[in-house]
């Protein structure tokens, strides 16, 4: 992903927070005859074992996920595949009417993270079971209601033969936070106010993110999508 310098993450924690707030990634691999892409929820491996998840540098870390075994994407994978995970944060069209000046041009503000790494297929039952349980724990903590999976563990065992897991060793990360940085301060304020007054949740989230960028300080208490 091409990332102009002005749109790079101001703090490495922004990248980690975007991934945790938007864990439904697009997994892309080359395949033997054509590219393959699957939307799949993923978690950071070290955060699945009780870590507080405060390590911001993703390079060298591992990302875990699992998919339905019936997905033909599996047949296109090999143990040496290089994979791309695409994470999308909030984004929206910015109309020139917001700027209240002429000439002007429309644009699109957004946040996105691309993670590159080597994919390893996981089909060992014990390891796959760990991934499934860790995924539930992570999402119940972050976006769930605290559901206790204990009463459903037997059901999970019946599901186990129908899924397969994967692990991606991260070797590179591209983070782009295009948040009206190219505009003068008074115009950025107009963009923030426009999105903050919207009834669309993603635009409200984008307003908060643009404000964080304008202030130059990360806010770890910002609501997750």
Res 110: pLDDT: 98
Residue 162 covered by a domain? yes
Task: Identify the pLDDT of residue 24.
Answer: 97
Query: What's residue 164's pLDDT?
Result: 95
Identify whether 202 is part of a domain.
no
Query: Does residue 206 lie in a domain region?
Result: no
Residue 59 is part of a domain; what is its CATH number? 2.30.110.10
Q: For residue 134, give the nearest of 214, 62, 212 by alpha carbon.
A: 62
Domain assignment present for residue 18? The answer is yes
CA 210, 213, 215, 219 torsion-angle sign? positive
What is the block-wise mean pLDDT of the chain (225 residues), using blocks of 10 residues? 93 92 95 90 78 67 96 86 95 96 94 96 95 96 93 96 96 96 95 96 96 69 38
Asked whether residue 19 is domain-assigned, the answer is: yes
Name 56's Cβ contacts closer than 8 Å, sequence gap at least 6.
Answer: 11, 12, 13, 15, 16
Rounded to 10°, the helix 201-215/185-196 angle is 150
DSSP the chain: ----GGGS-SSHHHHHHHHHH--EEEEEE--SSS-EEEEEEEEEGGGGGT--------TT-EEEEEEETT-TTGGG--TT-EEEEEEEEEEEEE-GGGTT-SS---EEEEEEEEEEEEEEEE--HHHHHHHHHHHHHHHHHHTS----GGGGHHHHHHHGGGEEEEEEEEEEEEEEEESSTTS-HHHHHHHHHHHHT-S-HHHHHHHHHHHHHHHT---TTSPP-
Q: Provide the token pair at 21.
A: 């707030």
User: Would 208 be classed as within a structural domain?
Assistant: no
Predicted pLDDT at 218: 42
For residue 49, the model assigns a pLDDT of 52
Is residue 71 assigned to a domain?
A: yes
How high is the pLDDT of residue 69?
94
Q: Say if residue 55 is preceded by a cis peptide, omega within 30 of 0.
A: no
Q: How many domains does the chain have?
A: 1
Q: Which domain holds residue 50?
A: 5-182
Domain assignment of residue 189, yes or no? no
Residue written as token pair 């897991």: 165
């Amino acid at each position: 992903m091409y990332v102009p310098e002005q749109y790079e993450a101001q703090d490495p924690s922004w990248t980690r927070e975007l991934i945790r707030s938007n864990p439904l990634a697009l997994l892309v691999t080359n395949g033997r005859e054509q590219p393959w892409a699957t939307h799949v929820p993923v978690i950071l491996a070290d955060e699945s074992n009780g870590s507080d998840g405060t390590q911001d540098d993703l390079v060298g870390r591992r990302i875990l996920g699992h998919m339905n075994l019936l997905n033909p994407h599996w047949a296109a994978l090999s143990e040496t595949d290089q994979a791309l995970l695409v994470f999308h944060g909030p984004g929206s069209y910015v109309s020139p009417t917001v700027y209240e000046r002429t000439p002007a041009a429309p644009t699109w503000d957004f946040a996105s993270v691309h993670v590159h790494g080597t994919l390893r297929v996981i089909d060992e039952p014990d390891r796959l079971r760990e991934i499934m349980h860790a995924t539930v724990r992570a999402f119940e903590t972050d976006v769930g209601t605290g559901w206790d999976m204990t009463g459903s563990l037997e059901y999970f065992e019946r599901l186990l033969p129908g899924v397969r897991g994967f692990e991606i060793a991260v070797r590179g990360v591209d983070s782009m936070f295009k948040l009206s940085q190219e505009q003068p301060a008074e115009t950025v304020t107009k963009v923030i106010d426009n999105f903050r007054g919207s009834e669309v949740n993603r635009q409200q989230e984008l307003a908060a993110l643009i404000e964080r960028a304008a202030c130059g300080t990360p806010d770890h208490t910002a609501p997750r999508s």
